[in-house]
Amino acid sequence: MVTVVISLAIITMFSGCNSGKKEIKVINLSFEGMKYDRLYLLAYMLDENDLLINGKTTDGNNWTFVIPDTISTHCRWYVIINRNDSIKNQNYKTIHHIAFRTIINNDTLLGGGFNFGENENIIELKSKFVTTNSFVKTTYIEELDTTLVLQKILTDLFSMSLPQNEYLRETMQTPNFSFFTDKKNPNKSYEEFLIEYADKIKKNPNSHYYMSSLAPTAHYYKSKKDIENLFNLFSPKIQNSIWGQEVKATFERSKLEGVSNIFLQNPLTKENEKIILEPTKHTLLCFSASWCVPCRKKIPLLKEIYENTKDNLNLVYITTDESTTIENWNALMEKENIMWRNLWLTDKNLKIKWQISAIPDYFLIYPDETAEKILLDEEKHIQELYSILNK
């Protein structure tokens, strides 16, 4: 029997004669009958700069993780891994996960991510080791016409009753919320998904899982109105959370004070350039990266938009490549003969401020420095852009 107990404690810190309250969250894992040499908590952060938090143990069975509030307030969810490997490493390394399984009415539910609910003090997860699953993560590279093996993923699977932790429970009951995928019903329509998602939110309008899943999947929706309708079903508190504000930015124009004075580096010339060169015109920021296959597929469309709007629209590529891949971006720009400007986003704070959590993403900046995210997935989206520019 393997028992996992995860508990949260709020600790008040005192310094000198003045007391100042500082919240930290402590996660304690206790494994009965299972020992690990190393355990890490992987925190998926709002800015996609994921963090590994070291676990402390004296016997391999009992583990403690201390999480500062600066991390917990910006973390989408946590998973447990037992090797110091990044999930996003695109290489041949092996990734070791810990996941949980529950069986309800002969239906097998799986989940591995969890997070702290509002005012939650203790989370207890009791589970029994079942098996270790293994699968190989691959990706297809169109340009090379080949399949690349990225990682081998090993998962220690534990069985449990339906967990009390709300986040983990919802990931089990509604996996891939807002991704419009359903393995049990592959023919489910877009409208059926919208009804399902709305019903789920109505039952729990304070769900951190639902809101944090909605934020990076806005580009899957056919209209901004569909996103807004789901957003309005959440409670005011979750709407005003950092994840709620990220979703709100996908359908509502907002003021970007000072955007005309922001400089980013041109990755080819290494010179800093203003994002907005002509404030009297609209500027379309296209967030992309060299490794992003869906982004590359948009290049023909962006070329068409550029040719049709270059007199009244400034098109600007913003790459989110890392320093290790930026030369790949430069090579892509040359290969595709990109005629519009391209800049390099290295400021993580700016990425958070603009709420860029998934690419490709598009930000239309108006001459009055208001901005809104736009979709470029269907012909009607293109026509909406043209309509705005021609007003």
pLDDT digits (tens, 9 = 90+) for 360-384: 888 898 888 888 888 888 888 888 8
154 in the same domain as 21: yes
CA-based torsion, 211, 171, 96, 62: positive or negative: positive
Q: Which residues of the chain have pLDDT under 70?
A: 1-23, 47-49, 83-93, 121, 137-150, 255-257, 352, 355, 357
The Cβ-side half-sphere exposure at 121, using a 13 Å CA radius, reads 2
Its domain, for residue 235, covers 190-248
Could you tell me if residue 185 is inside a domain?
no
Residue 92's Cα: distance from chain center in Å?
Answer: 23
Could you tell me if residue 108 is inside a domain?
yes
Could you tell me if residue 179 is inside a domain?
no
Buried/exposed 182-213: b ≥16 CB within 10 Å, e otherwise: eeeeeeeeeeebbeebeebbeebbebbbbbbb
32 in the same domain as 150: yes
Could you tell me if residue 178 is inside a domain?
no
What total of structural domains would you count in the chain? Answer: 3
pTM of the model: 0.71
248 in Cβ contact with 216 (< 8 Å): no
Could you tell me if residue 87 is inside a domain?
yes
Q: What are phi and psi of 364, to 5 degrees?
A: -95, 120
7 in the same domain as 121: yes
Strand partners, 148: 139
118 in the same domain as 204: no
pLDDT at 47: 64
pLDDT at 257: 67
360 in Cβ contact with 219 (< 8 Å): yes
Structure tokens at 149: 């093996």
51 in the same domain as 122: yes
Could you tell me if residue 107 is inside a domain?
yes
Distance (Å, whole) CA 337 – CA 275: 21
147 in the same domain as 16: yes
How far is residue 103 from each of residues 134, 163, 273, measured CA to CA in Å? 21, 11, 56
Residue 263's CATH number: 3.40.30.10
220 in the same domain as 275: no
Beta-carbon contacts of residue 336 (< 8 Å; ≥ 6 apart): 299
Distance (Å, whole) CA 213 – CA 202: 16
Largest CA distance in the chain: 69
Could you tell me if residue 38 is inside a domain?
yes
pLDDT at 218: 81
320 in the same domain as 356: yes
Beta-carbon contacts of residue 326 (< 8 Å; ≥ 6 apart): 267, 290, 319, 344
93 in the same domain as 51: yes
pLDDT at 94: 74
Could you tell me if residue 180 is inside a domain?
no
pLDDT in tens, 20-44: 445 678 888 888 778 888 888 888 8
The residue among 81, 140, 86 whose CA lies nearest residue 112 is 81
205 in the same domain as 322: no
377 in the same domain as 275: yes
The residue among 319, 334, 335 whose CA lies nearest residue 264 is 319
Domain boundary among the residues 144, 173, 202 is at 173
366 in the same domain as 233: no
Q: What are phi and psi of 135, to 5 degrees?
A: -150, 160
